[in-house]
Amino acid sequence: MSTLTHQGFTLWLTGMSGAGKSTISDALMERFRSAGAKVELLDGDIVRTNLSQGLGFSREDRDTNIRRIGFVSELLSRNGIIVVVAAISPYRAAREEVRARVTNFVEVHVDCPIEVLAKRDVKGLYKRALAGEVANFTGISDPYEAPLNPEVLVRTDLETLDESVGKVWSELTRKGLISPND
Protein backbone atom coordinates (compact mmCIF):
# COMPACT_ATOMS: atom_id res chain seq x y z
CA MET A 1 0.00 0.00 0.00
CA SER A 2 1.13 3.53 -0.69
CA THR A 3 1.93 6.00 2.03
CA LEU A 4 -0.62 8.56 3.06
CA THR A 5 -0.48 12.29 3.59
CA HIS A 6 -3.22 13.42 5.94
CA GLN A 7 -4.61 16.22 8.01
CA GLY A 8 -5.81 15.77 11.54
CA PHE A 9 -9.48 14.88 11.60
CA THR A 10 -12.07 12.97 13.59
CA LEU A 11 -13.94 10.16 11.90
CA TRP A 12 -17.00 9.53 14.10
CA LEU A 13 -18.80 6.22 13.56
CA THR A 14 -22.23 6.20 15.19
CA GLY A 15 -24.86 3.49 15.11
CA MET A 16 -26.70 1.00 17.26
CA SER A 17 -25.09 -1.88 19.12
CA GLY A 18 -23.97 -4.57 16.70
CA ALA A 19 -24.29 -2.41 13.59
CA GLY A 20 -20.60 -2.82 12.70
CA LYS A 21 -18.87 0.29 14.09
CA SER A 22 -15.98 -1.64 15.62
CA THR A 23 -15.58 -3.94 12.61
CA ILE A 24 -15.43 -0.99 10.20
CA SER A 25 -13.18 1.07 12.48
CA ASP A 26 -10.77 -1.88 12.88
CA ALA A 27 -10.55 -2.25 9.09
CA LEU A 28 -9.98 1.49 8.68
CA MET A 29 -7.32 1.47 11.41
CA GLU A 30 -5.46 -1.31 9.60
CA ARG A 31 -5.63 0.62 6.33
CA PHE A 32 -4.44 3.86 7.97
CA ARG A 33 -1.59 2.13 9.81
CA SER A 34 -0.50 0.23 6.70
CA ALA A 35 -0.21 3.59 4.94
CA GLY A 36 1.93 5.04 7.73
CA ALA A 37 -0.72 7.42 9.09
CA LYS A 38 -0.72 8.81 12.60
CA VAL A 39 -4.00 7.39 13.90
CA GLU A 40 -5.72 6.58 17.20
CA LEU A 41 -8.90 4.64 17.91
CA LEU A 42 -11.35 5.72 20.58
CA ASP A 43 -13.76 2.80 20.97
CA GLY A 44 -16.81 3.56 23.09
CA ASP A 45 -16.48 0.45 25.26
CA ILE A 46 -12.77 1.00 25.93
CA VAL A 47 -13.29 4.70 26.69
CA ARG A 48 -16.10 3.83 29.13
CA THR A 49 -13.73 1.52 30.98
CA ASN A 50 -10.74 3.89 31.08
CA LEU A 51 -12.00 7.48 30.81
CA SER A 52 -15.65 7.35 31.81
CA GLN A 53 -15.67 4.69 34.48
CA GLY A 54 -18.54 5.19 36.90
CA LEU A 55 -20.89 6.72 34.35
CA GLY A 56 -24.23 5.03 33.91
CA PHE A 57 -26.57 4.99 30.94
CA SER A 58 -28.80 7.95 31.70
CA ARG A 59 -28.99 10.58 28.99
CA GLU A 60 -26.80 12.89 31.09
CA ASP A 61 -24.13 10.22 31.61
CA ARG A 62 -24.17 9.20 27.94
CA ASP A 63 -23.77 12.85 26.91
CA THR A 64 -20.88 13.26 29.38
CA ASN A 65 -19.19 10.22 27.85
CA ILE A 66 -19.58 11.64 24.33
CA ARG A 67 -18.25 15.04 25.43
CA ARG A 68 -15.17 13.33 26.92
CA ILE A 69 -14.56 11.39 23.72
CA GLY A 70 -15.05 14.63 21.79
CA PHE A 71 -12.55 16.47 23.97
CA VAL A 72 -9.86 13.84 23.41
CA SER A 73 -10.70 13.78 19.67
CA GLU A 74 -10.29 17.52 19.47
CA LEU A 75 -6.89 17.44 21.20
CA LEU A 76 -5.54 14.70 18.97
CA SER A 77 -6.96 15.86 15.64
CA ARG A 78 -5.80 19.46 16.04
CA ASN A 79 -2.31 18.02 16.44
CA GLY A 80 -2.40 16.21 13.12
CA ILE A 81 -3.66 12.83 14.31
CA ILE A 82 -6.44 10.90 12.60
CA VAL A 83 -8.95 9.97 15.30
CA VAL A 84 -11.37 7.14 14.64
CA VAL A 85 -14.27 7.06 17.10
CA ALA A 86 -16.56 4.04 17.30
CA ALA A 87 -19.32 4.87 19.78
CA ILE A 88 -23.08 4.39 19.77
CA SER A 89 -23.46 8.09 20.72
CA PRO A 90 -27.26 7.90 20.62
CA TYR A 91 -28.17 11.57 20.96
CA ARG A 92 -27.91 13.90 17.99
CA ALA A 93 -27.41 17.02 20.13
CA ALA A 94 -24.30 15.59 21.81
CA ARG A 95 -22.80 14.59 18.44
CA GLU A 96 -23.55 18.04 17.02
CA GLU A 97 -21.91 19.64 20.07
CA VAL A 98 -18.74 17.65 19.34
CA ARG A 99 -18.97 18.49 15.62
CA ALA A 100 -19.06 22.21 16.50
CA ARG A 101 -15.84 21.90 18.54
CA VAL A 102 -13.80 19.58 16.34
CA THR A 103 -12.24 20.84 13.12
CA ASN A 104 -12.53 18.31 10.29
CA PHE A 105 -15.32 16.24 11.85
CA VAL A 106 -16.64 13.48 9.59
CA GLU A 107 -19.73 11.60 10.73
CA VAL A 108 -20.38 8.06 9.53
CA HIS A 109 -23.79 6.57 10.24
CA VAL A 110 -23.39 2.80 10.49
CA ASP A 111 -26.96 1.72 9.84
CA CYS A 112 -28.60 -1.68 10.13
CA PRO A 113 -32.25 -2.66 10.82
CA ILE A 114 -33.10 -3.89 14.33
CA GLU A 115 -34.26 -7.26 12.94
CA VAL A 116 -30.79 -7.88 11.49
CA LEU A 117 -29.07 -6.61 14.65
CA ALA A 118 -31.14 -9.02 16.75
CA LYS A 119 -30.12 -11.93 14.48
CA ARG A 120 -26.43 -10.97 14.74
CA ASP A 121 -26.53 -10.60 18.52
CA VAL A 122 -24.69 -13.58 19.99
CA LYS A 123 -25.22 -12.35 23.58
CA GLY A 124 -29.00 -12.17 23.14
CA LEU A 125 -29.18 -8.58 24.37
CA TYR A 126 -31.67 -7.47 21.69
CA LYS A 127 -33.95 -10.41 22.48
CA ARG A 128 -33.83 -9.54 26.18
CA ALA A 129 -34.32 -5.81 25.48
CA LEU A 130 -37.28 -6.49 23.19
CA ALA A 131 -38.75 -8.63 25.99
CA GLY A 132 -38.35 -5.70 28.41
CA GLU A 133 -35.60 -7.38 30.42
CA VAL A 134 -32.85 -4.80 29.71
CA ALA A 135 -33.38 -1.19 30.74
CA ASN A 136 -31.98 1.76 28.79
CA PHE A 137 -31.14 -0.32 25.72
CA THR A 138 -30.41 2.01 22.82
CA GLY A 139 -32.92 1.70 20.01
CA ILE A 140 -35.35 -0.37 22.07
CA SER A 141 -36.10 1.14 25.49
CA ASP A 142 -33.91 4.21 24.98
CA PRO A 143 -33.79 6.37 21.85
CA TYR A 144 -31.23 6.29 19.07
CA GLU A 145 -31.33 9.53 17.09
CA ALA A 146 -29.86 8.77 13.68
CA PRO A 147 -27.81 11.52 12.05
CA LEU A 148 -29.82 13.74 9.72
CA ASN A 149 -26.97 14.50 7.31
CA PRO A 150 -23.95 12.26 7.92
CA GLU A 151 -21.05 12.68 5.54
CA VAL A 152 -21.18 8.91 4.95
CA LEU A 153 -24.01 6.40 5.33
CA VAL A 154 -23.08 2.73 5.37
CA ARG A 155 -25.68 -0.04 5.43
CA THR A 156 -24.01 -3.09 6.92
CA ASP A 157 -27.01 -5.27 6.08
CA LEU A 158 -26.59 -4.47 2.36
CA GLU A 159 -22.85 -3.82 1.92
CA THR A 160 -19.72 -5.87 2.39
CA LEU A 161 -17.09 -4.64 4.84
CA ASP A 162 -14.86 -3.64 1.91
CA GLU A 163 -17.70 -1.62 0.35
CA SER A 164 -18.40 0.22 3.62
CA VAL A 165 -14.70 0.96 4.20
CA GLY A 166 -14.37 2.07 0.58
CA LYS A 167 -17.23 4.57 0.96
CA VAL A 168 -15.56 6.12 4.00
CA TRP A 169 -12.13 6.19 2.32
CA SER A 170 -13.59 7.83 -0.79
CA GLU A 171 -15.25 10.57 1.26
CA LEU A 172 -12.04 11.30 3.18
CA THR A 173 -10.17 11.55 -0.12
CA ARG A 174 -12.89 13.73 -1.69
CA LYS A 175 -12.70 16.11 1.29
CA GLY A 176 -8.90 16.29 0.94
CA LEU A 177 -8.31 14.93 4.45
CA ILE A 178 -6.21 12.05 3.10
CA SER A 179 -4.06 11.86 -0.03
CA PRO A 180 -2.37 8.64 -1.09
CA ASN A 181 1.27 9.07 -2.17
CA ASP A 182 1.89 6.43 -4.83
- pLDDT tens digits, 11-65: 999 999 999 999 999 999 999 999 999 999 998 777 766 666 667 777 788 888 8
Residue 3 has pLDDT above 70, yes or no: yes
Give the pLDDT score at 124: 86
pTM for the structure as a whole: 0.92
Q: What residue ranges define each of the domains in the chain, with the CATH number in brackets?
A: 3-181 (3.40.50.300)
What pLDDT, on a 0 to 100 scale, did the predictor assign at position 140? 86
- pLDDT of residue 71 exceeding 90, the answer is yes
Contact (Cβ atoms closer than 8 angstroms) between residue 156 and residue 164:
yes
Cα distances from 111 to residues 29, 40, 46, 76, 106, in angstroms, run: 20, 23, 21, 27, 16
Strand partners, 41: 84
Residue 172 has pLDDT above 90, yes or no: yes
pLDDT of residue 50: 63
For position 152, what pLDDT does the model report? 98
Indicate if 17 belongs to the active site.
no
Task: Assign 160 to helix, strand or coil.
Answer: coil
CB 171 within 8 A of CB 109: no
Name the catalytic one among 2, 89, 141, 179: 89
Identify the pLDDT of residue 67.
92
* 136 vs 117 pLDDT, higher one: 117
Q: Tell me the C-alpha distance between 143 and 124, whole Å.
A: 19
Averaged pLDDT, 127-133: 88
pLDDT of residue 173: 95
What pLDDT does residue 125 have?
87
More confident: 107 or 4: 107
Average pLDDT, the chain: 91
